[in-house]
Amino acid sequence: MARQPNILFIMADQLRADYLGCYGHPTIRTPNLDRLAADGTRFTRAYAQAPVCGGSRMSFYTGRYAYSHGAAYNNYPLRLDEWTIGDYLRPQGYRVALVGKTHMEADLAGFRRLGIDPGSGPGLLARECGFEPFERDDGLHPDQVVDPNLAYNRWLNGKGYPGANPWHDYANSVEGPDGEVLSGWYMRNSHLPARVAEAHSETAYMTDRAMEFITEAGETPWCLHLSYIKPHWPYVAPAPYHAMYGHNAIQPANRTAAEAEAANPVVRAFMAHEESLNFARDEVRERVIPAYMGLTTQLDDHLGRLFAFLQERGIDDNTIIVFTSDHGDYLGDHWLGEKDLFHEESVRIPLIVRDPRPRADGGRGRAADAFAEAIDLAPSFLDWAGGEARPERLEGRSLAPLLAGQAPSDWRDAVFSDSCFAQRPARITLGLDVADARAFMVRTERWKYVHFEKHPPLLHDLGNDPAEQHDLGRDPGHEAVRAEMRGLLFDWLRRRRLRTTIGDALIARKTGNAKERGYLFGVW
Amino acid sequence: MARQPNILFIMADQLRADYLGCYGHPTIRTPNLDRLAADGTRFTRAYAQAPVCGGSRMSFYTGRYAYSHGAAYNNYPLRLDEWTIGDYLRPQGYRVALVGKTHMEADLAGFRRLGIDPGSGPGLLARECGFEPFERDDGLHPDQVVDPNLAYNRWLNGKGYPGANPWHDYANSVEGPDGEVLSGWYMRNSHLPARVAEAHSETAYMTDRAMEFITEAGETPWCLHLSYIKPHWPYVAPAPYHAMYGHNAIQPANRTAAEAEAANPVVRAFMAHEESLNFARDEVRERVIPAYMGLTTQLDDHLGRLFAFLQERGIDDNTIIVFTSDHGDYLGDHWLGEKDLFHEESVRIPLIVRDPRPRADGGRGRAADAFAEAIDLAPSFLDWAGGEARPERLEGRSLAPLLAGQAPSDWRDAVFSDSCFAQRPARITLGLDVADARAFMVRTERWKYVHFEKHPPLLHDLGNDPAEQHDLGRDPGHEAVRAEMRGLLFDWLRRRRLRTTIGDALIARKTGNAKERGYLFGVW
């Protein structure tokens, strides 16, 4: 049997698909990811299952839609009995580890209820979303919540950056003209360099830690989730990346006055959020986007370093590299900031997969436009590791045939994403109960439809309006399309995998055999 | 503070609502349940959440739809982190115990994954569906699967009934004319008396065990789930109940030739099941139904004994009594046997609640026609125990206002039930994959609609066809009604409570307060 491949599962945070060179950005420099795409398969239509960190990541890790796993928003604890990547790969002999962010919130009440120690053994793995926490760092450490043992902070201390929270004071702060410390939380400071040396930045540190893990793992097949925090806010890049891109390198915002004028009430409420109002100002975009681009190029440079490391160690030909992001960032497009809604800028994600083995030669260098979903990764990993499919839990589908350049005739013709925005101020503006602050997206080849509970839907004709500037959600001429899209959502909801504890195969074996088991009901 | 009420939660198995005197059966004798109804509230439109033991019971115990908890059919293990009645009542100081059947299948793979010992402590409770197993007995013990330690069998041994499985050989077998032992599994034997003395039958034994529990519980508030196995098959009653009802006491079958002729393909496939073909014969109905009625009257007599016991102990004025069933039994109606589909004979259940306290005086003796669902019991129990509502998990609603004779203006106007029939032979006949052997029911005041995945729906006009003899599921004149019903199912599916680990109240408190927690995103 051939050796099982290692899986290097790299995630950027809040990185839009269209901010990579290989995805068509005209000015950004991402040569290493471009090379990865040239040597693998680049998915042009890959979607996050929730346009927010927590919900999206839990979908990546469980292989299940946000609706199904329930942890649809940040810090909604993941149910204890949701299986994650580690549950699928460990029985195949893999070491499954994390360096970086998961945004996993453990269901501590659930641990107490079942008498499980969340600090060791299976409890620790469940608490850490199935990953051995080689380095867990969710990357957002306000002074109020900073963990005194945060490894990155202690490491920075050792490098000569003092204080309880050098993550904030150095890695995510800058200096004003008079040497005063300015927090990177404020976007007005995004044009200045971070107070750490580049080699001490989060991106550099996490890359180093990944290499340490790979060295330590040795011959055991491994799956490493290398989960970078950047280019997520605080939008602060270390020199020289802070100044790598000028105003002329940024793209015009995708927004029109008519769009703001005619906005759906839910979108309008998001347009009134602080981040949206700020990103509506050119001044903000001109400060933040260069930093965002610089952070992305920095990430790419470190990936180059990491890819070279794999080569040097002679394991690049048996390591499948996956690069993706948890969701995008509006950056002022559609008069919005952040994410949470379902425009392409928010819900579409980069997805590049390089399987070095000959079986994937057919897809090498190709741009695949088949619909991919974040939930496809876990079943792909299981497939690569040689495990049996688990359709009673995994709602995605292995990407292996697409990587081989095949086009399975029964591949999906729609993608789905859903979101809970109950914690966002828009819920209050809209007067919604928590349970009503939900949205469901379906996109097909031509249409994107977003259902809201108490407000009219959104409908975009991606065929004629790829920039999504014209909402047909209330257009009388499109009721038939909307009905069809509601039908797709209805079909999708009925088919969620909530019977997780018994597989189809076992049920099929038991069909009609009650009598053999001794239960003679209905017999004369 | 007033003492918390005890809760006596009685369930019969496979007992149709219309087989009780107080529900209008013209010949059956159920004086004790009739008296309970006269002194409490009788729900005329109560529905099981799945027309099958396992799925229905898991809905009763979790307070959640079968779709939501996932254990939609018999022996589908319940997810480890589904909370059940015990999880809600124990923190309120209750002892929560079981005497009889739950049909709970534990997710042993889940236990192993989390390193939980399923034999003690919280593991034992999770394995037993949240109940302290004072007496666990699922009541179906073919020789192939009989537990050598089954308490009822060992007790029968002690009473002089020998062998490894006296449950079968005595309690559920009869004797032929030459003294030969005939198994009660065969319906042709249902007219003969069981080989046990009545006092040693399952119904008598479980009633005794309930009294032992109540005696032992003493002053601690308790919730006892007394869950009888009968009148579920094997349809065998002990003397004198086996001969209590003659052919003239049974009701004509609710079925027409036209109904069989025009049957929906799914219903037709069920009509071809062995139990359906047998119940289509008058000979079978005339042997089985008298036994079914006798078993029901026997149950009623033992409930009379139990209610008297509560009175004697002086606790009847602080014990809320709930009587229900997990689903019905076609008994040949609609050319069907067993259950699994959604005609009233199968999915409607008896539900009688007697709250002896003055607060329920307004509903005393009333027949409530508000829609009740099995999932309403768990939230009712929590309400009675004085606990806070848990809408993030509990999908039902406390019946307390209805018991008080109130009619809340926002009470539901539709009920839902869903079913997986993948293990029934009909799936094979219909050529369905396991995932497609699903059905979803919604009923409103006037209509009942059943959605199938790969076949036309059912539609019954209960206003004009309460016997459900005319299926309008393919009638061209009713497409608008069907569309409306599909819309109700779509709405219902979107609102399932799958975000179980965090409550609405906490989310509401966190809405818009990221900044206070130190996360300054979007700030200039």
* DSSP tag of B170: I
Pairwise CA distance, residues A70 & A78, whole Å:
7
Question: Are B274 and A517 a contacting pair at CB < 8 A?
Answer: no
Q: Residue B2 has what pLDDT?
A: 62
Q: Does residue A268 belong to any structural domain of this protein?
A: yes
Pairwise CA distance, residues A77 & A167, whole Å:
25
Q: Does residue B219 belong to any structural domain of this protein?
A: no
End-to-end CA distance of chain A: 54
Question: Are A501 and B87 a contacting pair at CB < 8 A?
Answer: no
Residue B493 CB partners (closer than 8 Å, separation 6+): A490, A493, A494, B67
Total tally of structural domains belonging to chain A: 1
Q: Residue B3 has what pLDDT?
A: 86
The token pair at B161 is: 């009934």
Task: For chain B, give the longest Cα–Cα distance.
Answer: 95
Pair A473, A482: CB distance under 8 Å: yes
Q: Does residue B397 belong to any structural domain of this protein?
A: yes
Tokens 């039930």 identify what position?
B417
Pair B446, B463: CB distance under 8 Å: yes
Question: Are A278 and B83 a contacting pair at CB < 8 A?
Answer: no
Q: Does residue B205 belong to any structural domain of this protein?
A: no
Q: Does residue A149 belong to any structural domain of this protein?
A: no
Q: Is pLDDT above 60 for A197?
A: yes
Report pLDDT digits (tens) over A3-16.
899 999 999 999 99
Residue among A68, A511, A517 minimizing CB distance to B145: A517
Q: Residue A1 has what pLDDT?
A: 45
Residue environment code for B57-86, b if the CB has 16+ CB neighbours within 10 A, otherwise e: bbbbbbbbbbbbbbbbbbebbbbbbbbbbb
A2 φ/ψ angles, rounded to the nearest 5 degrees: -65, 150
The overall average pLDDT reported for chain A is 97
Question: Are A123 and B145 a contacting pair at CB < 8 A?
Answer: no
Regarding an ipTM greater than 0.85, the answer is yes
Pairwise CA distance, residues B66 & B64, whole Å:
6
Residue numbers of the domain that contains B79: 6-87+234-508
CB pairs under 8 A between A and B: 231
Pairwise CA distance, residues A473 & A451, whole Å:
9
Question: Are B116 and A114 a contacting pair at CB < 8 A?
Answer: yes
- Residues from chain B that touch A523, judged by Cβ atoms under 8 A, are 185-187, 274-275, 278
- Residues from chain A that touch B455, judged by Cβ atoms under 8 A, are none
Q: Which residue of B lies nearest to A124 if distances are taken between CA atoms?
A: B114
Pair A148, A164: CB distance under 8 Å: yes
Q: Does residue A437 belong to any structural domain of this protein?
A: yes
In one-letter notation, the amino acid at residue A7 is: I
- Residues from chain A that touch B69, judged by Cβ atoms under 8 A, are 498
Report pLDDT digits (tens) over A251-289.
999 999 999 999 999 999 999 999 999 999 999 999 999
**Alpha carbon separation from A84 to A58, A89, B252 (Å, rounded):** 8, 9, 55
Q: Does residue A323 belong to any structural domain of this protein?
A: yes
- Residues from chain A that touch B336, judged by Cβ atoms under 8 A, are none
**Three-state SS sequence of A322-379:** EEEECCCCCCCHHHCCCCCCCCHHHHEEEEEEECCCHHHHHHCCEEECCCEEHHHHHH
Q: Does residue B286 belong to any structural domain of this protein?
A: yes
> How big is chain A by its Cα radius of gyration, in Å?
23
- Residues from chain B that touch A69, judged by Cβ atoms under 8 A, are 498
| CATH number (domain holding residue A297) | 3.40.720.10
Pairwise CA distance, residues B353 & B384, whole Å:
12
- Residues from chain B that touch A87, judged by Cβ atoms under 8 A, are 113
Question: Are B140 and A423 a contacting pair at CB < 8 A?
Answer: no
Taking the CA atoms of B46, B50, B51 and B55 in sequence, report the sign of the dihedral they define.
negative
Pair A384, A320: CB distance under 8 Å: yes
Residue among A67, A425, A501 minimizing CB distance to B70: A501
Report pLDDT digits (tens) over B436-486.
999 999 999 999 999 999 999 999 999 999 999 999 999 999 999 999 999
- The residues with which B450 forms a beta bridge, in sequence order, are B441, B458
* DSSP tag of A106: B
At A447 the three-state DSSP class reads strand
Q: What is the pLDDT along chain B (524 residues), one digit of tens a residue?
A: 468 999 999 999 999 999 999 999 999 999 999 999 999 999 999 999 999 999 999 999 999 999 999 999 999 999 999 999 999 999 999 999 999 999 999 999 999 999 999 998 999 999 999 999 999 999 999 998 899 999 999 999 999 999 999 999 999 999 999 999 999 999 999 999 999 999 999 999 999 999 999 999 999 999 999 999 999 999 999 999 999 999 899 999 999 999 999 999 999 999 999 999 999 999 999 999 999 999 999 999 999 999 999 999 999 999 999 999 999 999 999 999 999 999 999 999 999 999 999 999 999 999 999 999 999 999 999 999 999 999 999 999 999 999 999 999 999 999 999 999 999 999 999 999 999 999 999 999 999 999 999 999 999 999 999 999 999 999 999 999 999 999 999 999 999 999 999 999 999 999 988 888 889 999 99
End-to-end CA distance of chain B: 54
Q: What is the DSSP string of A129-190?
A: TTSEEEEE--S---TTT--TT-HHHHHHHHTT--SS-HIIIIITEEE-TTS-EEETTSGGGT
Residue among B79, B275, B490 minimizing CB distance to A490: B490
Query: Over pLDDT 90: what percentage of chain A?
Result: 97
